[in-house]
């Protein structure tokens, strides 16, 4: 039987709420620990547990038909993947932050400065739109430490509660975008699977 293949985040902030939302709509999944794929018992759905950053490409290639993913990841990966529904959880911002004693008060003030980020494409888009040049340092995690170790003058990262910024002596100076979990759909989805979706 044709099954709808849905990707969810394997681990991280979206995982728990993604599984809860599937359960809430009546899809029960047998998932052993470390299993990367599981079928629903009562509905033609297979769930793939994937790394967040890989999901847009899997959607693009039609390897999965749909995904529960942060809108910010779709924007960063820039594959023009559409989403059909906002899911109302994992709300966050992608923001610019600087050490709290810094005089910078907007992205503009970081012109020609060093910005550490895991969201280079998003930052580039905003820099280009404002005709600003800056030096980007791409790092994959613990971005908030970068100013403290002398690696950067500012950062661009996800802000949720704001506690990571606070604990690292940083302040938010500009919100680039707001994001939440969305239900994204592959451009390659077949009519039959779209009907299941």
Q: Footprint of ligand PRP on this chain (CB under 6 A)?
A: 12-13, 141, 143-144, 157-164
Q: Between 64 and 155, whose beta carbon lies closer to ligand PRP? A: 155
How many helices (H) does the chain have, and how many strands (E)? 6, 11
CA gap 4, 25 in Å, rounded: 15
- Least distance (Å) from ligand PRP to the CB of residue 50? 15
- Least distance (Å) from ligand PRP to the CB of residue 143? 6
CA gap 92, 161 in Å, rounded: 8
Q: With beta carbons less than 8 A apart as the criterion, state whether 197 and 85 touch.
A: no
Q: Between 12 and 78, whose beta carbon lies closer to ligand PRP? A: 12
Structure tokens at 30: 């047998």
101-104 own/partner pairs: CB under 8 Å, 24+ apart: 102/153, 102/154, 102/171, 104/153, 104/154, 104/173
- Least distance (Å) from ligand PRP to the CB of residue 68? 15
Q: Between 141 and 150, whose beta carbon lies closer to ligand PRP? A: 141
CA gap 30, 148 in Å, rounded: 44
Q: Between 57 and 164, whose beta carbon lies closer to ligand PRP? A: 164
Q: Between 44 and 162, whose beta carbon lies closer to ligand PRP? A: 162
- Least distance (Å) from ligand PRP to the CB of residue 66? 22
- Least distance (Å) from ligand PRP to the CB of residue 28? 27
CA gap 120, 112 in Å, rounded: 15
């Amino acid at each position: 039987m044709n099954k709808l293949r849905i990707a969810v985040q394997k681990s991280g902030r979206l995982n728990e709420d993604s599984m809860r939302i599937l359960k809430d709509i009546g899809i029960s999944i047998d998932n052993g620990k470390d299993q990367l794929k599981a079928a629903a018992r009562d509905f033609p759905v297979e769930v793939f547990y994937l790394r967040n950053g890989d999901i847009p490409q899997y959607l693009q290639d039609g390897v999965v038909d749909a995904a529960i993913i942060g809108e910010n990841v779709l924007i960063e990966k820039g594959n023009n993947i559409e989403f059909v529904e906002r899911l109302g959880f994992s709300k966050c911002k992608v923001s610019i932050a600087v050490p709290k004693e810094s005089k910078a008060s907007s992205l503009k003030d970081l012109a020609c400065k060093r910005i550490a980020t895991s969201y280079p494409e998003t930052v580039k888009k905003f820099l280009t739109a404002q005709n600003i040049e800056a030096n980007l340092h791409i790092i994959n995690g613990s971005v908030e430490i970068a100013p403290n170790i002398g690696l950067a003058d500012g950062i661009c990262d996800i802000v949720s509660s704001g506690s990571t910024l606070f604990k690292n002596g940083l302040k938010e100076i500009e919100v680039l975008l707001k994001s939440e979990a969305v239900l994204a759909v592959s451009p390659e989805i077949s009519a039959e699977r779209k009907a299941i979706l």
